[in-house]
Amino acid sequence: MVNLKGRSLLTLRDYSSDEIRFLLELSVKLKEKKRKTGSGELLKGKNIVLLFEKTSTRTRCAFETAAFDEGGRVTYLTNSQMGKKESLEDTAIILGRFYHGIAFRGFKQETVEDLARFSGVPVWNGLTDLYHPTQALADAMTLLEGVGKPAGETKWVFCGDGRNNVAVSLMIISAKLGLHFALLCPQELSPDPGLVQEMTGLAEERGGSLWIGRDREAALKEADAVYTDVWVSMGEEDRMEERIRLLKPYQVNRKLMALGRKGCLFLHCLPAFHDLNTGIGREVYEKYGLESMEVTDEVFRSSGSRVFDQAENRVHTIKAVMAATLVEPGSL
């Protein structure tokens, strides 16, 4: 039996294929449980802190509602002393005395790793510069739910910045699960070659594959789903002009979707710039004349779009991560 009690989730690189499959199976079970009974007591008596340095809608709310559903209690902390009046080490030790688990969202992977090192309790990465592991779990769950085929017969394609935390996390989870994963990205925004080599080996051992390049037809051939993310991540706002130049040819639109299989699904971690109903979207329109960025409104709102299922699955997968790392496997 897989036993994750006491483990942190800092990156999916630290998790075996069996452990990831276990988390996905538990997520499906917890989704069904919520649908049938609404709530449970898996996290009863557990105190959880969300230490967030960056803004969030889905990740924060998914951690909170997942905890509430199973009887946990949550503190949302955005103005701590950490790194200002108090060292990371001291803050981590204190939070570890108060809480059973810590969710962190912030600028550096190093911070989430140090929190895990010093706190003595499970720490969950809710996004750093390098990885977004809880997002990738929800994405894989949504893909497999939506496509309905075994991992070794399922292909998805990420279009955009191939070095961003979401693209890299998708590459890792795909390799571990033996999915077929294609990364359609400009040469300038390609992921670390060392990681690519490692993940190619892992994917092939598990019956999957990893393809990286710029040929749209090759990338989209037999694709079951297309995934994209924003062109500029949090903290990179001054790069907008450069990213528009590099990524405009990689926009997900009707023409690109038509290169995939019939009924090809569309995925996005959200938030998305698909219309002019955001402040940044309007600024980009006024400056560069783009009505949408990484995905057109038409594809975003199409029948193949699974973006809101994906957002909902953040709750079920995060709940699975917290439960698996906080309670005995026999109670799950």
Q: Two tokens at 27?
A: 């997520």
CB of 56 to ligand CP, least distance (A): 3
Residue that has been written with the tokens 């946990």 in this structure: 72
Altogether, the residues listed in the chain come to a count of 332
Residue closer to ligand CP by CB (options 180, 306) is 306
Residue closer to ligand CP by CB (options 311, 327) is 311
Residue closer to ligand CP by CB (options 27, 59) is 59
DSSP state for residue 181 in the 8-state scheme: E
Residues that bind ligand CP (CB under 6 A): 56-59, 127, 135, 269-270
Q: Two tokens at 188?
A: 């300038």
Angle between helices 109-119 and 88-98 in degrees, nearest 10: 50
CB of 315 to ligand CP, least distance (A): 12
Residue closer to ligand CP by CB (options 234, 290) is 234
CB of 218 to ligand CP, least distance (A): 28
Q: Is 87 helix (H, G, I), strand (E, B) or coil?
A: coil
**Alpha helices (H) in the chain, listed in sequence order:** 17-37, 58-69, 88-98, 109-119, 133-147, 165-177, 193-205, 216-220, 240-247, 254-257, 279-288, 297-300, 307-326
Catalytic residues: 105, 132, 135, 229, 269, 314
Report which of 204, 311, 180, 291 is spatially closest to residue 244, judged by C-alpha positions: 291
End-to-end CA distance of the chain: 11
CB of 269 to ligand CP, least distance (A): 4
